[in-house]
Amino acid sequence: MAESRGRAIIGSPFLFEVAAFVTNPVLAPGNRAPAFTLPTDSGEKVRLTEHRGRWVVLFFLPLALTPSCCLEAKEFQKQADDFMNLGAVVVGVSPSNHVRHSEFREKNKLSFPMLHDRDAKLAIRYGVYRERTTNVRDYLGIVRTTVLIDPAGKVAHLWDNLRVKGHVGRVYARLEAELKS
């Protein structure tokens, strides 16, 4: 089941409001994960289909180099080898440009790819580009989300509009549980 908090606006070609406290308005466990081909900070292309047969931990960040995004990326990096030992690949996505991603990867010493979703097209397809609310304003942007994709390319679990603290441990525990079932 997806985990969520807060109000959301679906990010699709046709924006419309959905009720408070909804889960991701586009994806659900069991759905086929939308395919993608996106560039990394070095210009290489990464395709979801290249990872068919492996688990994929795909996490969306609102903006590289912000404190929360750095914390989340560092937490994924701390457990990157653990994920790899379970047969999973970790991939980050944000709308930040390749220069910012390069700085982000260097600053946080990341071994996994950070993909550049310049126009948020992938974020829209994954339902993570929608209304965000702060104390100051409401705006459209990336909602912090992680999608666990199984070896067949289907969504096994998703964490939507998540809190960073303890999140990576929950993703790892879920992957372990999926492998045991």
* CATH number for 160: 3.40.30.10
pLDDT, one tens digit per residue, over 41-68 is: 888 999 999 999 999 999 998 877 677 7
Residue 43, both tokens: 């210009």
**What is the dihedral angle through the alpha carbons of 153, 74, 66, 116, rounded to the nearest 10 degrees?**
-40
- Residues assigned a catalytic role: 69
Residue 25 belongs to a domain: no
Task: Give bridge partners of residue 91 from the DSSP assignment.
Answer: 58
Q: How far is it, in rounded angstroms, from Cα 14 to Cα 29?
A: 23
For 19, 73, 163, the CA distances from 45, given in Å and listed in that order, are: 37, 20, 29
Percent of the chain past pLDDT 70, that is, above it, reads 86
Place 180 in a pLDDT band, splitting at 50, 70 and 90.
Answer: very high
Q: What is the pLDDT of residue 88?
A: 98
Query: How many domains does the chain contain in total?
Result: 1
Number of residues that this document lists for the chain:
181
Maximum mean pLDDT: which of 18-27, 80-89, 158-167:
80-89
Give the side-chain half-sphere CA count within 13 A for 178: 26
Residue 154 belongs to a domain: yes
Q: Residue 92 is part of which domain span? A: 37-119+142-180
Residue 124 belongs to a domain: no
Give the side-chain half-sphere CA count within 13 A for 172: 16
Buried b (16+ CB within 10 A) or exposed e, 163-174: ebeebbeebbeb
Residue 94 belongs to a domain: yes
Residue 10, both tokens: 């679906």
Residue 19 belongs to a domain: no
On average, the pLDDT of the chain sits at 84
Residue 100 belongs to a domain: yes
pLDDT, one tens digit per residue, over 71-88 is: 789 999 999 999 999 999
Residue 112 belongs to a domain: yes
Q: Cite the beta strand spans of the chain per DSSP E.
A: 37-39, 45-47, 55-60, 88-94, 114-116, 129-133, 138-142, 145-149, 155-160
Residue 162 belongs to a domain: yes
CB-CB contact of 147 with 158 (8 Å): yes
pLDDT, one tens digit per residue, over 94-111 is: 988 777 767 878 888 999
